Chain A
Amino acid sequence: MSAATTQTTAVGRFKGHGKTWLWVGLVVVALALPWVFFNYQTGRHSGFVLTMLSQAGMMILFALSYNMLMGQAGLLSFGHAVFFGLGGFSTIHFLRAAGNGTLPVPMELMPLLGGLSSLGFGMVFGAMVSKQRATAFAMITMGIGELVGASAIMFHSFFGGEGGVNADRMIERSLFGVNYASPVQVYYLIVAWTVIGVVGMLFLTRTPLGAMANACRDNFERAQFMGYDPRRVRFFQFALAGGFAGIGGALHAITYEIVTFDAVGAGLSANAVLMAYIGGSGTFYGPILGAVLITLMQSGVSLMSNSWLIYVGVMFIGIVAFAPGGLAGMIEIHGPIARAGRLTRLIVPYIRLFFPAFAVLIGFIGLVELMSFLTIGAAQGKTLELFGNKIDVKAALPWLVSLGCLVPGGLWLWFESRAFGRVWDRLTEDLKERDR
């Protein structure tokens, strides 16, 4: 909570230029992070951290490009991975062509090629889907996603079937004389292209196209009366979103040197929805938060537990039901209070909210883990360990402890959240009074 608080005050205080400096600061942090986890004894980067950061970079592009549809144009797509994956497959083929000397393109421009190919695919599919909106749009994109996903397993010449297509990224052609042998060099390529992609998408929101996308989302009939064609707006938005997702896919191909049918699959398309919505689709930066959070959860939590899907599912449902603005919405809602300088009044209520919430979290995680070790863990021959102690999942004690955290914690949380609501209401009332 304290991180979010300081961030909002920072935004509030340096309104205007402050936001630019925040973005620059984030890029500096992204550039420095591999060296924070640098092992000076062995002189090596942490492979796990680098992979995770690289993955986060691609997912930021993927989630932001998805939000060009969901947040900015109000179009719910269930097949966005098609463009991520097709960009990746195209890049793999470009890399192979570059490797045997038929394509004289330096490594640094490969993501551009991948993005352009996805832009092409986006125009083809965009022509098909742009007639629809709302649920019909969701269904037709789902259909395209299923079609391409199944084709990727069926056809070997382009998609490589079940095994996927691989390539060697050391194509010996670079603008800066880098051979991209080590992951850290690839990471900096990813940072560079993520920054280019983010700036490009931020720029698009300030263009007439971005404004018209918002208009068609809010009231497409009115936009039509004003003489704009919502179909053309949807077409351009869809194709461009595909292109930016393709850059992410190209980075995926360069990092892992292999692309399989998973990259166009329904699972990744669903991930785009989760990342953009959990992060917050109402703001530009929301999906970045979502992409980083989901990537951390996917690689961090999946190391410790195999039930990360249920945690993400519960978190997603909680956000849909209680905070439709996502994480970014929760930060934004503190804006007026921060500008009035009243944020300190919320510290104590937040601390009081923290303890029951923590108890509920512990109880819930405990129950989920006990349950999954009882069935899946037993089938895989694993045992549940906590701080080095083996826990018998068939004994009554761990179940009672978890339930004892969850049920009273839940009641306590309900009680505290009502009290928090009263504090919040009084604070916003005060602000309204003062404005009057």
Chain B
Amino acid sequence: MEIVLISLLNGFVYGMLLFMLASGLTLIFSMMGVLNFAHASIYMLGAYAAFDVTRLIGFWAALIVAPVLCGAIGAAIEIYGLRRVHHNGHIAELLFTFGLFFIFERGVQMIWGMLPVPYRVPPLLDFALFRVYGSNFPAYRGFMLLISGGMLLSIWLLLTRTRIGLIIQAALTHPNMVSSLGHNVPRVFTTVFAGGCFLAGLAGVIGGNYQITEPTMASALGPIVFVVVVFGGLGSLMGCFIASIIMGMIQTFSVIIDGSIADLVKGFGVSIPSDNLLGEILNVPGSRVGPLLPYALMILMLLVRPRGLMGNRDT
């Protein structure tokens, strides 16, 4: 029971982190049709920028400076890059961000080196918030929940209570109609792209010291974020939220499952040898299958319901 509760908490923290990345990506993807491959690279950049700002000024300054920097980079990518290739179609835009992904990965290695950087939790937040069944729940995870929850609330307020939010919502489902009504859709695009990158940068600031700040963090997290976006469905922030939490829970709960399918049938007196491929697949413990489950779920979702969990149109 205790391990279930702790995993539930951890899964929620991880899911919220995923949502911070995926919410920006899903807004960009739904409006512009661009699947931004460099989105996780912006997350990585946010973590590295936060590391540098923390070293120079302090963590609280990093919490503001790094996301703003990432938002500015996002705006620059949209204005100087994506607009230029826009007339060549969505594939060209996707490939443009695909190229950016390589440059960011190598650029980060060139500036900060190949090894992880010591970006740590600030001492002010480095204590145990409460104890559940004898194990500590770090205060920093509570802080992460606070930040991501606050972000969720402000996004919701922005989208439903402000004029720009209404235009964004309209552009999500009917981009052509919005431009016909005389709104400056390219500027809305830039705003959303910069906003998405701001959120990714913020996720990098609070996620970089929760996980490890290293050059491979973008390629490790990037595919999972895509899975969340496709699984949640186009044009739906709610679907994206549910998908993020599901993926977060899968990642944390699979770690604690030791058994395999072979163990399951062993109870019925059947033993499966693991010397061939099928036997091996059946004998793999759940904890090792965990990282694969999101991809399997995404493939299943695309086969059964291509519009995703709560999407309003096909991917």
Contacts and interface: CB of A to CB of B under 8 A. Distances in A.
Contact of A273 (B85, B98, B277): B98
Interface stretch (B130-138, B162-170, B284-292): B284-292
B299 A147 contact: yes
A310 B113 contact: no
Interface stretch (A98-106, A127-135, A164-172, A421-429): A127-135
Nearest to A313: B102
A128 B298 CA distance: 12
B96 interface: yes
A218 to B, nearest CB: 12
A359 B303 CA distance: 52
Interface stretch (B18-26, B66-74, B104-112): B104-112
B181 interface: no
Interface in A203-259: none
Interface residues of A, number: 44
A273 B95 contact: yes
Interface stretch (B150-158, B202-210, B223-231): B223-231
Interface string B275-315: 11101110010001001100110110011001000000011
B237 interface: no
B303 A139 contact: no
Nearest to A318: B99
Contact of B95 (A154, A155, A277, A371): A277
Interface string A61-93: 000000000000010100000000000000000
A140 B298 contact: yes
A310 B107 contact: yes
Contacts of B88: 320, 324
Contacts of A368: 110
A312 B281 contact: no
Interface of A: 74, 76, 128, 131-132, 134-136, 138-140, 142-144, 146-147, 150-151, 154-158, 266, 270, 273, 277, 307, 309-310, 312-314, 316-317, 320-321, 324, 368, 371-372, 375-376, 379
24 contacts: A76-B94, A76-B95, A132-B315, A142-B223, A143-B295, A144-B295, A146-B223, A150-B291, A150-B292, A155-B280, A157-B276, A157-B279, A158-B277, A266-B219, A273-B95, A307-B110, A309-B102, A309-B106, A310-B110, A313-B103, A316-B102, A317-B100, A372-B110, A376-B113
